[in-house]
Amino acid sequence: MRKSGNKIRIAPSILAADFGYLADQIAAAKDNGADYLHIDVMDGAFVPNISMGIPVIRSIRNYSDLVFDVHLMIREPIRYIDDFADAGADIICVHAEACGDLAETLGKIREAGCRAAVSIRPGTDSAVLEPVLDQVSMILLMSVEPGFGGQKFLPGTLDKIRATRNMLAAHGLSGVDVEVDGGIDAGNLTEVLRAGANVIVMGTSFFRGDMAENGRKIRAVIQEFENNEE
Ligand code: DX5
Ligand code: ZN
C-alpha cells in the first residue's frame, strides 16, 4: 500500500492526439493505460489559443467510458458549467484566476453533478486555494503556462506540489487528488510522483510516436515508484 493512499492515475491529454481519428485515438489511449481522458478547452481569451469545446465532448462521450477530466482554460467558466456537465464531463476543472467568484463556480459544478477541481497557473501561489480546499476533489497544478502542449516542465512545480500536499494534510484533506499538467514524460515522472502528485496529465509523451511503447514506459515508471514506496 502506498503511503499517501491516493491512487495514481494517468490522464492523457487529447490536445496531442490526431483529431482526424479522435475516437480511435481515445480507444487506443484506454488500451494503453489511460485512467482519465484530459480534455483541454481554451477560449482564446484566458489563454492565447483556441482548442475544442462542448460539441466535441458531446460527440466523444458516445465513444468512451473513460472519466472525462475537462480542463477549462476559459474566462468566467460559470457561464458554461451546465453545458459541459450535460455534454458528459465527469470532472470539471476551472482556473482560480479566471473566476470572479471561485466558490460559487465550484458550487455550481457540484450542483451539476460533476466532481469539482481547481487549477492555478505556474505563477499563482497555492495559498489562493486555501479558502476552497473543502469544495474540491482535485487540485490541478500547471507545470507550464497554460495554452499549448509540448512545452518544457517548469521545475519550480515540484516545490508547489509539496506545498499543496502539506496544505491539504494540514486541513485533514489528504484524500484530495493533486494533478499536474504540462511537460511530463517518463523521464521526470518519478520526481513528480515523489513530490506528491497522483493524477498525471501527459499529452505529447503519451500520444506522439508509438502509443503502446509510450504507455508501457509510463506504466513501468509508476510500477517502480509504487514498489519503492512499499
Ligand atoms: C496546456 C494543457 C495541457 C497540455 C499538456 O495548456 O493544459 O494539458 O495539453 O500537454 P504536454 O503533456 O504535451 O505538455
Ligand atoms: Zn490541461
Q: For the segment 57-73, what is each residue's pLDDT rounded down to a tens digit?
A: 999 999 999 999 999 99
Rounded average pLDDT over 25-49: 98
Provide φ and ψ at 43, rounded to 5°.
-110, 0
C-alpha 15 to ligand 1 mean position (Å): 7
CA of 145 from ligand 1 middle (Å) equals 9
Q: pLDDT at position 19, please?
A: 98
40 in catalytic set:
yes
Residue 2 has pLDDT above 70, yes or no: no
**Which position has the higher pLDDT, 4 or 179?**
179
* Residue whose grid cell is 493524477: 199
Q: Is pLDDT above 70 for 171?
A: yes
**Arithmetic mean of pLDDT, 160-173:** 98
Residues 218 and 212: beta-carbon distance below 8 Å: no
Overall residue count recorded for the chain in this entry? 230
Determine the pLDDT at residue 3.
55
Mean pLDDT of 207-214: 98
Question: How confident is the model at residue 1, as a pLDDT?
Answer: 41
How does pLDDT run across 87-126, given as a tens digit for each residue? Answer: 999 999 999 999 999 999 999 999 999 999 999 999 999 9
Mean pLDDT of 147-176: 98
Residue 16 CA: distances (Å) to CA of 2, 13, 30, 143, 223: 31, 6, 15, 16, 24
H-helix or E-strand spanning residue 40 = strand 36-42
Q: Which residues line ligand 1 (CB under 6 A)?
A: 13, 15-16, 38, 40, 71, 144, 146-151, 181-184, 201-205
Chain-centre distance for alpha carbon 181: 6
Mean confidence (pLDDT) of the chain: 97
Closest CA to 197 of 180, 217, 220: 180
In a mutational test of the pocket of ligand 1, which residue from 52, 93, 142, 144 has the highest number of ligand atoms less than 8 Å from its CB? 144
> What are phi and psi for residue 45, nearest 5 degrees?
-125, -55
Report whether pLDDT(201) > 90.
Answer: yes
Separation between Cα atoms, residue 202 and residue 10, nearest integer Å:
8
Among 40, 43, 69, 177, the active-site one is 40
**Ligand found nearest the CA of 143:** 1
Residues 6+ apart with CB under 8 A from 166: none
Phi-psi region of 49 (alpha: psi -120 to 50; beta: other; left: phi over 0): beta
CA of 117 to the centre of ligand 2 (A): 12
Find the ligand nearest to 14 CA: 1
Residue 35 annotated in active site: no
With pLDDT > 90 as the criterion, what percentage of the chain qualifies?
Answer: 97
Task: Single out the catalytic residue among 43, 69, 177, 181.
Answer: 181
Q: Average pLDDT in the 2-28 region? A: 93
